[in-house]
Copies of this chain bind each other. A is one copy, B any other.
Amino acid sequence: MAPTVPAAFPSVGKELQWMKYSRGRAGHPGATQAPVPSAGPTRNAMAEDSVRSVERALSLLRCFDLNTEALTLTELSEKLSLAPSTTLRLATVLTAQGFLQRSKVKTYSLGNAVYLLGAVAKSHFKLHNTVLPHMLALRDACKEAVTLYAMEGGYRVVYEHVESLRSMRCVVRVSDRFPLWAGAAGKCLLAYADAETVEEEIAKVRPIAPGTILDPDRFRRELAEIRRNGGRAVSHGEREEGITSTAVPIFCAPDKIAFALTVSAPSSRVDSTGLRSIFELSIQASRDIERLLRP
């Protein structure tokens, strides 16, 4: 059902978790993507050991993302499919504990407790602390932006990012989420996903850039090709016009992908020999990182 997320190196003290999303409900046309955390009556039969109110409270926190700074009570209760009274109660508790804050115009946003806890998490995050140096080195070698993606809840989300130093750069932010069905990282991650997940993603495809792969068969063939190449994936403007990017997998076990490591650049700066050297450097970095994340 829900796209199972390959658990990352358990030893890293960092395991990616599944997340269930409700039907995408179109959303604002503006933002690239905006998944809706479901906390509603979608109580999938099983789901043992649920502490419903806690699950809901956490889903409430997840309603906020880089493009969603503030939400009203109504918006929250709609996103969560919860009664306004229930939503209010949860929001009140979260606010009292500093996980949310309320503006005088009665909108909620993430509170200082999240900010502070985030700093704590960051300081302990092995991923952050050990991988970033390697990404920096790769950036310096390629002179282009380097990003680390993981699959999560039907998206690829940015876990780490290092900007290029050129004045024209490709920039994303930690916590940004993009579709799996467009772009090198998406294909790389999907190449090692189960067929079910792949089909789910293929069903979502829609043209968002000139290079978007619209033909399902071509998409499937490309995934197979990528797997045959040990995970190397390229995209020419699939997600955004004029960007060429490469992706290589970071495995936590044979054929079990944890992350995709990408290098992104304006297409004009990348020729075929450049591409080859980027892959070489990326693969090397990937090997190093895999070793780092091992037990």
Q: Is A217 an interface residue (CB 8 A)?
A: no
Residue ID in chain B nearest A295 by CB atoms = B104
Picked from B51, B70, B115, B117, the residue with its CB within 8 Å of the CB of A125 is B115
Report yes or no: B175 in contact with A17, Cβ–Cβ below 8 A. no
Cα distance A159–B118 when bound, in Å?
A: 12
Report yes or no: B122 in contact with A115, Cβ–Cβ below 8 A. yes
Interface-central residue, A89, A96, A98, A173, by most chain B CB under 10 Å: A98
Cα distance A120–B159 when bound, in Å?
A: 12
Residue ID in chain B nearest A176 by CB atoms = B119
Would A173 and B121 be within 8 Å (CB), given that A17-B112, A159-B112 are in contact?
Answer: no
Cα distance A281–B281 when bound, in Å?
A: 48
Question: How far apart are A38's CB and chain B's nearest CB, in angstroms?
Answer: 12
Q: Is A103 an interface residue (CB 8 A)?
A: yes
Report yes or no: B98 in contact with A17, Cβ–Cβ below 8 A. yes
Cα distance A51–B18 when bound, in Å?
A: 25
Would A122 and B118 be within 8 Å (CB), given that A10-B104, A55-B97, A101-B13 are in contact?
Answer: yes
Q: Is A209 an interface residue (CB 8 A)?
A: no
This chain's copy number in the assembly: 2
Report yes or no: B89 in contact with A51, Cβ–Cβ below 8 A. yes
Interface-central residue, A19, A51, A65, A174, by most chain B CB under 10 Å: A51
Question: How far apart are A217's CB and chain B's nearest CB, in angstroms?
Answer: 35
Would A117 and B120 be within 8 Å (CB), given that A54-B53, A98-B19, A104-B11 are in contact?
Answer: no
Report yes or no: B19 in contact with A90, Cβ–Cβ below 8 A. no
Would A111 and B17 be within 8 Å (CB), given that A54-B57, A57-B51, A117-B118 are in contact?
Answer: yes
Would A96 and B65 be within 8 Å (CB), given that A114-B121, A115-B128 are in contact?
Answer: no
Report yes or no: A16 in contact with B94, Cβ–Cβ below 8 A. no
Identify the 6 closest CB pairs spanning chains A and B, nearest first: A118-B118, A17-B98, A110-B121, A119-B174, A114-B121, A119-B175
What residues make up the interface of A, taking CB atoms closer than 8 Å to B? Answer: 10-11, 13-19, 49-51, 53-55, 57-59, 61-62, 64-66, 69-70, 89-90, 92-99, 101-104, 109-125, 127-128, 157, 159, 173-175
11 contacts between A and B (CB under 8 A): A17-B111, A49-B93, A54-B90, A54-B93, A64-B120, A110-B121, A111-B121, A114-B114, A114-B120, A115-B128, A116-B157
